[in-house]
Structure 1
Amino acid sequence: MSELRIRGLQKSFDGTPVLHGIDLSVERGTLLALLGPSGSGKTTLLRLLCGFERADGGSVEIDGRRVVGDDLHVPSEQRRIGYVPQEGALFPHLSVADNIVFGLPRAQRRARHRVAELLELVGLPGNFGERAPQQLSGGQQQRVALARALAPSPTLVMLDEPFSSLDAALRLETRQAVASALAATGATAVLVTHDQSEALSLGHEVAVLWNGRLIQTATPETLYRRPVTRELASFVGEAVLLPGMAIRDRVRCELGELSLSGPTGQGAVDVMVRPEQIRLLRAEERMPNGAATYDAVVTEVIFQGQDAGVALQLRSDARTMVRARVPGYLCPRPGEQVRLAVDGEVTAYARA
């Protein structure tokens, strides 16, 4: 597979800028998750890469070959990109096998070139080739769509929110099958999604688009633990933001003196703590390592099965509310007196 290089890519519609000078590199064999809220420009970027739209400026190179540049727009069919749309978009009048070979030369279509191999690759039995798409579940149809995208041995695979129409259990199963198939082929792929858990669980790297600008590209762990803005912190998972004062590599706030995960400006800051970092103890308990604990009252519990969201009011300042996330079997009851402490390092953002 290939590497992808994007430099200064720009696009406007009716005079309104949608993408502002995007710079992005995807290394060979990497699955990049392109994450962002609705309206951030994700779909526009995908359409420019696939050649469905013309860029207003900038360049795109796929495996060293320029496909977008000054007065250059290589047509979609000449870019050797595999494309998996949201709904799979299989042809209902063709069998699964004929869908898979649809984009191949005529001789390979007649021979049903690599159909059994591709079905096995995406985790489906070989006899599924004779079935009609309507006989498959939504997740199976998405796997067939991936097999079709991989059939011509593309240089790059683009996945446009391919799991968004699936229910939760099927979504997880299909994600794992798709990730395994891409890894088995060594594919370079870009997954477009607005689902944070999807991006963090599938991407080797995650690039975040925000109002048409690429604001952070990082490993999933770095993005989650050290998002570059407070807005991004609240978008990528749940965040507790508290006022504090940074002093060198420490920060003081209502939850005590905490270690910072990275350098920040000195002085007034907003401290970001993830809810799962907040440990809940019974009122008489203390942290084993002697760390400071703080009295709080449970005001609300949202039970979600495997875990639960817990809203807490600090006894030291009734105006300060925080949210913790605990295993479902350990969730307290509203009105219960608890003690809390913070595990691990936190991130801080300088106040303007």
Structure 2
Amino acid sequence: MSLRQAETAELVVEGLGKSFAGRAVLSGIDLQVPSGSLLAVLGASGGGKTTLLRLLCGFERADAGSIRVGGRLLAGDGLHVPAHRRRIGYVAQDGALFPHLTVAGNVLFGLPRALRRDLGRAAALLEAVGLPARFATRQPHELSGGEQQRVALARALAPSPALVLLDEPFSALDAALREETRSSVAAALAAVGATAVLVTHDQAEALSLGHQVAVLRSGRMVQVATPDVLYRQPADAALAGFIGEAVLLPGEADGARVHCALGSLHLLRPAHGRIEVMIRPEQIRLIETTASDDGPRGVVERAGFGGHDSLVEIRLQHSGELVSARVPGYAMPEPGRIVALRVEGAVLGYPA
């Protein structure tokens, strides 16, 4: 049985806005999610992520702007299509399975009554999300947290929705189960060609799953980009620190290069005058010092062991500034050690 979506389901959001009690929660949100792709919406708590999902689902009425899925207007121009008529699948944080139904009963619940006994479809949907067909007769309490989330996804996919929304579906899982479940969910969405929006506060999750990542800050869209562009070229210094660890240093730019406490570095984008230099910790290499070294040196102040890698804090000898370097876990230096530093790759500059 083929479960692949038959229709084009591009999501287009234009100028979306929502206020509660006179306070703007979302303002001027624009999004375009191509059919069959996954958009990860990333943001801190209170940034507007949940409100955005509720507007897409139809649980809330938008104050401004429009929402289209597959060319069909769902909100805007005075129109508000109710949630049950939007053909949108929804996966909650905890799965929200019905405890009195079997797995098959949960998966088929959203289908017309005549199709709710189609065990062949239930089996196909379970296999699509990486679960064996024999799970169909089990009760939800007999499944692990990750298995319950996959059943919830199968239930969301059962009616062949035009769009699937996932509201932090992995947040309650432990680290190992989270990674396994992420992979299964991503594979299932790709297999059926679903257009999906994933809301998360986990940066690694957004960067690893999203074809594009949109960052919400205080109800406004700060940047929408592919994961590699977002990480390497964040729109501003605050976003650089939110997406991952960032070393920020003052520098003087003269076009293609910038001069700062870590030497003369190549810029991703030409700049002139005083700028703030953004360097990722993994770009900073620690090397053994020699008498002939004339590059930057520093003293290791702290080192945090993280297993496969370590984050090392170094106090620069000449400027006194504190920088962070990410090194393999086996190469973590002891505090007090003097090291030379070298930056690899181009760096980004922001106006000072």
Distance 1:296 1:146 in 2: 50
- Say yes or no: does 1:284 pair with 2:290: yes
Partner of 1:153: 160
Cα pair distance change 1:50/1:113, threshold 3 Å: farther
Q: Report the TM-score when normalising by structure 2.
A: 0.96
The answer for unaligned runs of 5 or more in structure 1 is none
* Structure 2 partner of 1:296: 298
Alignment of 1:65-80 (within 5 A): 65-80=72-87
Tell me which amino acid in the other structure corresponds to 2:315: Q
How many angstroms does 1:293 deviate by?
A: 3.5
Structure-1 residue corresponding to 2:4? none
SS of the residue 1:248 aligns to: strand
1:54-73 alignment, distance < 5 Å: 54-73=61-80
Contact 2:14 2:30 in 1 (8 A): yes
Q: Secondary structure at the match of 1:114?
A: helix
| CA–CA separation in structure 1 for the residues paired with 2:150 and 2:295 | 49
What is the identity, as a one-letter code, of the residue corresponding to 2:339?
V
1:92-103 to 2 correspondences below 5 Å? 92-103=99-110
Tell me how far apart the structure 1 counterparts of residues 82 and 33 of structure 2 sit (CA, whole Å): 21
Dislocated runs of 4+, deviation >4 Å: none
CA contact (8 A) 1:101 1:113 kept: no
Choose 110-119 or 272-281, whichever is displaced more: 110-119
- Indicate whether 1:310 and 2:308 are aligned: no
* 8 A Cα contact 2:203 2:243, kept in partner: yes
Which residue does 1:208 correspond to in 2?
Answer: 215
Structure 2 unaligned regions, length at least 5: 1-7
Aligned to 1:350: 351
Alpha-carbon contact 1:6-1:23 (below 8 Å) kept? yes
Distance in 1, matches of 2:309 and 2:330, equals 7
Shift of 1:284: 3.2
Q: Deviations over 1:273-316 (max 9, x none)?
A: 000000011223999xxxx7321111101001010010001111
Aligned to 1:255: 262
User: How far apart, in 1, do the equivalents of 2:270 and 2:39 lie?
Assistant: 27
Q: What's the CA shift for 1:239?
A: 0.4
CA separation of 1:161 and 1:142: change in aligned 2, threshold 3 A: same
* C-alpha deviation, 1:179, in angstroms: 0.4
Displacement, 1:89? 0.3
Cα distance in 2 for partners of 1:285, 1:123 equals 58
Matched, 1:240 2:247: yes
Q: Which residue of 2 is the match for residue 331 of structure 1?
A: 332
> Contact between 2:257 and 2:270, CA under 8 Å: does it hold in 1?
no
**TM-aligned CA distance change 1:296 to 1:51, over 3 Å:** same
Q: What SS does structure 2 have at the residue aligned with 1:261?
A: strand
Distance 1:215 1:263, change over 3 A: farther
CA distance in structure 2 between the partners assigned to 1:6 and 1:113 by the alignment: 36
Q: 1:217 is matched with which residue: 193, 212, 224?
A: 224
Residues 25-81 of structure 1: per-residue CA shift (max 9 Å, x gap): 101111110111111111101100000000001101100000001211001111110
Task: Describe the superposition over 1:92-141 as per-residue Cα deviations: whole angstroms up to 9, x where unpaired.
Answer: 11110100000001111022351111111111111111111001010000
Q: What SS does the corresponding residue of 1:47 show, helix, strand or coil? A: helix
- What letter corresponds to residue 345 of structure 2 in structure 1? G
Distance 1:99 1:27 in 2: 29
* Compared CA separation, residues 285 and 36, structure 1 to 2 (3 A): farther
Q: What does 1:44-59 correspond to in 2, within 5 Å?
A: 44-59=51-66
Tell me whether 113-122 or 163-172 shows the greater mean CA deviation.
Answer: 113-122
TM-score (norm 1): 0.96
Q: Percent identity?
A: 61
Correspondence 1:198 to 2:205:
yes
Counterpart mapping for 1:83-122 below 5 A? 83-112=90-119, 114-122=121-129
Task: Name the counterpart of 2:341.
Answer: 340
Q: 1:245 deviation in Å?
A: 1.1
What is the number of residues matched between the two proteins?
345
8 Å contact kept, 1:98–1:112: no
**Match in the other structure for 2:151:** 144
The 5 A counterparts of 1:111-190 are 111-112=118-119, 114-190=121-197
CA 254–67 in structure 1, closer or farther in 2 if over 3 Å, else same:
same
Question: d(CA) in 2 for partners of 1:26 and 1:143?
Answer: 23
For residue 298 of structure 1, give the secondary structure of its aligned residue in structure 2.
strand
Cα distance in 2, alignment partners of residues 307 and 248 from structure 1: 34
Verify the 8 A CA contact 1:157 1:190 in the aligned structure 2: yes
Change (3 A) 1:65 1:249: same
- Distance in 2, matches of 1:95 and 1:261, equals 55
Q: Aligned-pair distance for 1:220?
A: 0.2
The separation in 2 between residues aligned to 1:295 and 1:216, in whole angstroms, is 35
Letter in 2 for 1:77: H
